[in-house]
Amino acid sequence: MFAQEPAERHRLIAGIFSARVAGVAPDGWDVPSPVAEWTARDVVGHLVGWFPGFLESGSGIALPRGASVADDPVEAWRTQADAIQALLDDPATSERMLRNRHIGDIPLPQAIDQFYTGDVFMHTWDLATATGQDARLDPDFCADLLGGMESIEEVMRASGQYGPRVPVPAGSDVQTRLLGFIGRDPFWSPPA
pLDDT tens digits along 11-69: 999 999 999 999 999 999 999 999 999 999 999 999 999 999 999 999 999 999 999 99
Residue-level pLDDT at 177:
97
Q: What domains, with CATH codes, occur in the chain?
A: 6-136 (1.20.120), 137-185 (no CATH)
Comparing CA positions, the residue from 48, 40, 47, 43 lying closest to residue 64 is 48
pLDDT for residue 92 is more than 70: yes
Q: Read off the pLDDT band of 102 (50, 70, 90).
A: confident
Please give the average per-residue pLDDT across 123-139, as a whole number: 97
Query: How far is 158 from 144, CA to CA, in rounded Å?
Result: 21
Q: Read off the pLDDT band of 9 (50, 70, 90).
A: very high
